[in-house]
Structure 1
Amino acid sequence: MKKFKTIAAIGLSLLSVSGLARADLGANVSVLSEWRYRGVSMTNETLAIQGGIDWYNQSGLFASVWAGNVDFFPTGHPFDDGATVELDLLAGYAGAINDEITYDATLYYYQYPGDEVDQDFAELKLGVNYNGFRVGYEYAPDYINLGLAYQYVYLNYQTDIAEGVGLELHVGSSFGEVFDDPTTLMLDKYMDYSIGVTKRFSDLDLKLAYVDTDISSTYAVDSGQMANQGAVVFSVSKSF
C-alpha cells in the first residue's frame, strides 16, 4: 500500500544501469511531516519515520526491505485492523534500451506485522523512463487480501529548475475491481496529483510537496486517518 522511499523504489528506474553498478548495498532513512500514498494519508496526518536497506548489482537485479509506521483507522472503527507498521519486501530488474530509455519491473510484497486481519498482498510494478518522464503501471490481483484487483497508472516528470533545486510533477489514477463497489474501500475510483520542489542540502534530500485528489464529497476525508484532501508534505531523507 505504499510507494517506497528507497533508492530501489522512488529512484531506481531513473538511474542508469551504470549507476546500479556503483555499489552493492545501500540504506536510507526518511522523516516526513506525514505520509501520503496515492493521495491518501497513511499516518493520520502525523509524523512518519521510514527506512530501508537496498541491494543492487551491475546486472540490473535488485532487492530491498523497507519499513515505516502507519495509522489507517481510529481504534474501534469498523475497518480498524490494528496495523501500526508496514513492512515491504521487493525484488526486481532494471535495464536500459538505450542511453535515454530505461525500464524496470518490480514485485512487491506488503506485510503488516501484528495486525488483526490478514491483509498481506503482492503487487507488480512496471515503469519506463525517458528524458525526465516516467510512465508506470501497478497491479495487485488480490488487494489487501480481498480477492479483488487494484490497478494504478501514473505519469511523473522531474527536472532541475535551479542549481541543486528540482521540480517533481505527478498525476495518477486508481481503478480496478476493488472499486466496483465503493463501500469496499469507502472510495470510488479516483485520481491523485502532486507538485513538489526538491533541494539537496549537504548530504540530505529535502522535499516540499502539495498533494491532492479528485475524490468527491461522498468519500472525502478532510483530516485525520485516511485524509484525502489537499495537503502540504515536507520530508527529509538521507541515503547511505
Structure 2
Amino acid sequence: MNHRITALACAVLLAAPLSALAADESPYSWEVAAVSDYVFRGASQTDEDPTVQAGFTYTTAPGIYANVWASGVDFGTDKPDYEVDVTIGWNTDLTEQVNFDAALTRYLYPDAGSNNYNELITTTTFADTYSATVAYSNDVWNTDTDGWYVAVGGEWELPQEFSLNAGLGYSTFEKDVAEDYLDWSLGVSRAFGPATVGLTYHGTNSRGEYNFGETADDRVVLSVSFGN
C-alpha cells in the first residue's frame, strides 16, 4: 500500500501545540533529529529503518506560525524517498489552563506528488499536561476519502529530570481505503546538555497490523534531537 500515513511537523503520535510567544523570545525555532524509525500513528514510514529529520518554525506575536519539516521515508517502493510537511497554524491561550492550536498541514512528497494531501489538525492542551487532538482530511493519502484522527495524550515530569509521555489515538475512514484502527505510544525522554534523548514504545491493534503489515508491529524507537 503506497499511501501510508505521514507525520505532522508537530507530531510523533500525537502533536502538541506551540507555546504562546512571549515578547522577549525569538520568533524562530528549529530542530534536527536522528531516529531509529520514523513512526506516525503507529506505522513505520521508513520500512523500519533509521532516518534524519529537521524542522523550522516562525511564530508571530499574535500566535500565527509557519512550519516546514522534512524526513526521509520508505514505503517499500522506489519513490518517495522523502517527505516535506508545510504547516500554517494559530496558537492561543484560551485561559490560564487551556491552550488551543489549529493548523493546516500539506504533506508533500516531491519525488512522488501523487501521494500529496492536506490535513486540518486541532489540539487543545490542559494545564500544560493533557492534550486532545482532532484531525480531519477530505483526501486522506490522496484517495478522495474523508479521514478522521482523534487522540488523547499527556506528559509528566519524573525524577532525575526525566519526563514521561503517553498517547492513544484512533483513525477512522469514510471509505474502505483501510480498516479503522487504534494506535498507542509510551515514552521517556531526558535532556543531556544540548541533546534530548527519547525512547518510545509504539503499537497498534490488529486492524492497524492488517492495514500496514509488519510496519505496524510493536516497536521501540530511539531518538536524539537538537534544537532551540
Q: Give identity over the alignment, percent.
A: 24
Quote how far apart the aligned CAs of 1:18 are.
4.2
Instruction: Establish whether residue 158 from structure 1 lines up as the match of residue 150 from structure 2.
Output: no
User: What is the alpha-carbon root mean square deviation over aligned residues?
Assistant: 1.9
| One-letter amino acid matched to 1:189 | D
In the other structure, the counterpart of 2:187 is 196
In 1, Cα distance between the equivalents of 2:120 and 2:44?
22
1:56 equivalent to 2:59? Answer yes
Structure 1 stretch 140-149 or stretch 89-98: which is displaced more?
140-149
1:119 Cα deviation (Å)? 2.0
Inter-partner Cα distance in structure 2 for 1:145 and 1:121: 5
Matched residue of 2:141: which SS?
Answer: helix
- Indicate conservation of the 8 Å contact 2:124/2:132, yes or no: yes
Paired residue for 2:227? 239
Change (3 A) 1:21 1:151: farther
**Change over 3 Å in CA distance of 1:25–1:18 after alignment to 2:** closer
| 1:139-197 CA-partner distances (Å, limit 9, x unpaired) | 011112211011100001001011321000000000021xx32xx3xx41100011000
Describe the superposition over 1:81-125 as per-residue Cα deviations: whole angstroms up to 9, x where unpaired.
x1111011001100011111100100001110111x512111100
Question: Could you say which residue in structure 2 is the equivalent of 1:221?
Answer: 213
Q: What secondary structure is seen at the aligned counterpart in 1 of 2:185?
A: strand
Q: Deviations along 1:124-143, whole A, 9 cap, x unmatched?
A: 00011002000000001111
**Paired residues of 1:159 and 1:166 also in contact (CA < 8 A):** yes
Shift of 1:4: 1.7
Is the aligned partner of 1:89 residue 2:86? yes
* TM-superposed deviation, 1:74: 3.7
Query: 1:118 maps to which residue?
Result: 114
Give the letter for the 1:84 counterpart: D
More strand by share: 2
Q: Which runs of 5+ in 1 are unaligned?
A: 76-81
1:34 is aligned, of 33, 37, 40, to: 37
Mapped partners of 2:67, 2:8: distance in 1: 13
Equivalent residue number for residue 141 of structure 2 = 144
**Aligned pairs, number:** 219
Detail structure 1 runs of 4+ shifted over 3 Å in the superposition. Answer: 9-13, 18-21, 216-220
Match of 1:78 in 2: none
Residue identity matched to 2:223: S
Structure 1 match to 2:218: 230
Alignment check: 8 A CA contact 2:15 2:133 kept: no
Q: 1:138 to 1:21 in 2, by over 3 A?
A: farther
**What displacement does 1:5 show?**
5.2
Secondary structure of the corresponding residue to residue 17 of structure 2: helix
Structure 1 contact 21–58 (Cα < 8 Å) conserved = no
| 1:19 positional shift | 4.7
Report the 3-state secondary structure (helix = DSSP H, G, I; strand = E; otherwise coil) of the residue aligned with 1:194. strand
Q: Where in structure 2 are there 5+ consecutive unaligned residues?
A: 1-5
Question: Which TM-score applies when normalising by structure 2?
Answer: 0.90
